[in-house]
Structure 1
Amino acid sequence: MKAFSGKYGNTLEFGHLIGGEEVFEGRVLERRNPSDLEDLVARFPEGTKETLRKAALKAREAFKEWSETPAPVRGQVLFNLAKILEREKPTLTRLMVREVGKTFKEAGGDVQEAIDTAIFFASEGRRLYGQTVPSEMRDKELFTFRRPLGVVGMITAGNFPIAVPSWKLIPAVLAGNTVVWKPSDDSPTLSYLFVKLFEEAGLPPGVINVVFGGGKDSTGQWLVELMDEGLLNKFAFTGSTKVGRWIGEVAGRNLIRPTLELGGKNPLVVMRDADLDLAVEGAWWSAFATGGQRCTSAGNILVDAPIYEEFKKRFLERTEATVVGNPLLYPEVTYGPFINERLFQRWLEHYT
């Protein structure tokens, strides 16, 4: 990794992480601060099909040793990770504000979710229980035990760049699997540093491999297609319902179990006996937190007729009090930028 002076901090230049080594392969992409496009946050490569195959083979090599590592020992790595994340929380929080445009409050909460996840699953290393089952045969004892699946392919979104990956990466490695991860091209720096912290915590090389790039006709699509080549044993995805359906089809024809966290459309219902102060604040937060860029954002607000006018009045007042701007410069900002130009254009198409 190389670092250069940038507008709001260093510009980092880094490669894919494959087998514990940095690999510079593929055309160079850039990530800019969505609050200020003059601020170059990172330069990183776009992985090719061959890059992904290399990563999958390195993950397969690492699987033998990691899967045979006792689960409590794997759990200790996660305890170490939790402590390291706690130490690095201020740095990761500020970087998240810069790289994806979250407010400081939300970015700090994002990192905290990863800390909590690491602590929880570290203890699961001593609770990977099996079952004992009565047998109808006198000289037989029946029992079950858990075995890791193998190599897991993962694609995650950029709106929760530490929290959501932690929900997938941490359980996977705790269970003894290895990973090929294609993070969002909106949050490459956070993803790179997250895996480096896993390595600092004691995770062996090749257990988590990161290949950067885009989605359709790019690294993400090609990673999914590795299921057809027999290089993956499990797939986890966070993203749109349309893409999730396609991933489910590819996984199904290969008898692979996918984990799909897809888009939502969420109505918020306010009844006549509701606490209006609480309802207004909840509606505002659901609609505008993370700039409305998350699957749990309110899509519609349905208000009981007798309280409609009063609710609307209070909700509009709360909305007008929203502070819009660059959260890196103004900590009081409660609504930051769109995470990328593509989402901004989609918003314009819907509402203009």
Structure 2
Amino acid sequence: MLQTSVKSYENYINGKWVSSVSNETFESINPADTSDVLGKFQSSTKDDVETAIKAASDAFPSWASTSPSKRAAILNKAADILESRVEQYGEELTREEGKILSAGKGEVKRSAQTLRYYAVEGLSFTGETFPNDDPNMDVYTAREPLGVVSVITPWNFPISIPARKIAPALMTGNTVVFKPSSDTPLIALRLVEALHEAGIPEGVINFVTGSSSNVGDPLVKHPAIRAVTFTGSTGAGESIHSKASLTTRTQMELGGKNPIIVMDDADIDNAAQLTVNGGFALTGQACTGTSRVIVMKSVEEAFTAKLIEKTKELVIDNGLVDETKVGPLANEKQLNNVLNYVDIGKKEGANLVYGGNRLEGPKYDQGYFVEPAIFTDVKPDMRIAQEEIFGPVIAIIAVDNYEEAIKVANDVEYGLAASIVTNDIKLAKKFTQDIEAGTVKVNRTTTGNLINAPFGGLKKSSTSTFRESGRVGLEFFTQIKTVYVGY
């Protein structure tokens, strides 16, 4: 794609668009066509972050005392703005992250819905009143905002994940310093831009771009930061959690190694389709993506054949092409990581029965395209069955029975999402109790969660403290006072 000029974008601090003190920028590029540059963004420094934190601190008292209806009005107006620009923003998201256009547009719409959801839920989110034996005393709890919140988000859902963190933070009266992934800064900026145009007061939300090595520490360790909400890798989450002080609350949504169990009574065609949808949609780049299929030996051959058949039907191309079902990986690092794990799987003795190659040719050479990979003869202790790959690689593990399937499914350090495909209602119920995962599905893909339902994982997939999404998503951003009033 021939470009004559590249637009520069600025940080958003204290209600103004400003350049970094570093006077340096980085580029956001299209992973389907690396010659397509979406813009230049600020390479921020510690000083930029500290300026943003001060702005958020100064704005907090006024925003905390702003009426809930006024906060809700701003969220609703920002949602209107996002919805009015779905076509533009959906295309920008696809160009920046790589997912197919329908998914890009859908994510923008979902983000607007998230803003509206919290605008409503926040109006009735309050404390409790407790009965007591003294008729001349009232006892109740009051929920109050925490203060300045750091929001640190990944590239795979670059506007919807920020929306589900920022909306409840703002609705409960907190102020925000937001750092998006350096792979997807433009679509993140569009969310901030919508809030700005909706009339959010100066300093209530602040936006800084740049590498985590330069800006990560002050976003976590600054004494004014009262909470950090982060979605990303388990390693990065553990680092953030360890750096936060005793008075800084953390919310970590981290990695997954999500299984789908295929029982011998399953509809094989449906099971294969659910696996394709969960493992290869979004190019496998979802924390809830299906990466392990634990299948009964009696149906392994039929299932594998059907999975390969459906995978062959997938059109791999630029996400802007209508027929595309699988876009590129988001960046070169992801491409190299996936190819490396394909090699690891082969060396471990697993059988690569389909895909796993970097794609070549005129429509692929400028991007990070790889064939979805399917391995059979996978042992539960192999690295491809234990470690998060975050790409379109599926490991098929054959077992003899349900008990062995559950043992294999639970024998990883993660516990984010899991599914079973079966027509046995009693077994499905047992699965929901036996599986060690925060999101449990029956006859559905491992991916996807409702805006109005809690989301989070167990074990190393989460801090297992405060859930995101749904009404409970407001809890992380508030603290409770218990009040006794005597008359």
Give the TM-score normalised by the residue count of structure 2.
0.68
The answer (yes or no) to whether the contact 2:219–2:225 under 8 Å persists in 1 is: no
What code does the residue aligned with 2:228 have?
A: F
What code does the residue aligned with 1:13 have?
A: S
Secondary structure at the aligned position of 2:137 is classed as coil
User: Deviation digits for residues 153-196 of structure 1, max 9, x if unmatched?
Assistant: 11100100111111100000000000011100011111112101
Tell me the equivalent position of 2:249: 257
2:17 pairs with one of 14, 22, 25 = 22
1:99 pairs with one of 96, 99, 122 = 96
Distance 1:299 1:130 in 2: 41
User: Deviation digits for residues 73-122 of structure 1, max 9, x if unmatched?
Assistant: 21111121222221111111011111111101211221122122112111
Residue 222 of structure 1, CA deviation: 3.8
Distance 1:248 1:325 in 2: 38
Residue 321 of structure 1, CA deviation: 1.0
Greater shift, 135-144 or 265-274, is seen at 135-144
What code does the residue aligned with 1:186 have?
A: D
User: Deviation digits for residues 35-86 of structure 1, max 9, x if unmatched?
Assistant: 1111111101111111100000000111111111011221111121222221
Secondary structure at the aligned position of 2:33 is classed as coil
More helix by share: 1
1:338 pairs with one of 314, 323, 329 = 329
Distance 1:326 1:210 in 2: 29
Distance 1:71 1:9 in 2: 46
| 1:40 pairs with 2:37 | yes
What code does the residue aligned with 1:272 have?
A: D
Tell me the equivalent position of 1:311: 303
Q: 1:49 to 1:282 in 2, by over 3 A?
A: same
The answer (yes or no) to whether the contact 1:75–1:124 under 8 Å persists in 2 is: no
What code does the residue aligned with 1:250 have?
A: K
Long gaps (5+) in structure 2 = 344-487
Residue 9 of structure 1, CA deviation: 10
The answer (yes or no) to whether the contact 1:19–1:207 under 8 Å persists in 2 is: yes
Secondary structure at the aligned position of 2:145 is classed as coil
Tell me the equivalent position of 1:172: 169
Tell me the equivalent position of 1:78: 75
Distance 1:326 1:8 in 2: 18
What code does the residue aligned with 1:20 have?
A: G
| 1:271 pairs with 2:292 | no
Residue 7 of structure 1, CA deviation: 4.2
The answer (yes or no) to whether the contact 1:73–1:125 under 8 Å persists in 2 is: no
1:223 pairs with one of 196, 202, 219 = 219
What code does the residue aligned with 1:235 have?
A: V
| 1:125 pairs with 2:125 | no
Long gaps (5+) in structure 1 = 1-5
Tell me the equivalent position of 2:481: none
| 1:349 pairs with 2:349 | no
The answer (yes or no) to whether the contact 2:50–2:218 under 8 Å persists in 1 is: no
Secondary structure at the aligned position of 1:13 is classed as coil
The answer (yes or no) to whether the contact 1:213–1:220 under 8 Å persists in 2 is: no
Tell me the equivalent position of 1:187: 184
What code does the residue aligned with 1:285 have?
A: N
Greater shift, 277-286 or 138-147, is seen at 138-147
The answer (yes or no) to whether the contact 2:278–2:284 under 8 Å persists in 1 is: yes
Residue 202 of structure 1, CA deviation: 2.1
Q: 1:343 to 1:9 in 2, by over 3 A?
A: farther
Distance 2:126 2:99 in 1: 39
Distance 2:292 2:207 in 1: 37
What code does the residue aligned with 1:302 have?
A: I
Distance 2:279 2:196 in 1: 37
| 1:294 pairs with 2:290 | no
What code does the residue aligned with 1:220 have?
A: G
Residue 10 of structure 1, CA deviation: 7.8
Distance 2:3 2:297 in 1: 49
Distance 1:111 1:22 in 2: 23
Residue 351 of structure 1, CA deviation: 1.4
2:226 pairs with one of 230, 233, 236 = 233
Distance 1:73 1:48 in 2: 33
Give the TM-score normalised by the residue count of structure 1.
0.93
Greater shift, 44-53 or 108-117, is seen at 108-117
Tell me the equivalent position of 1:156: 153
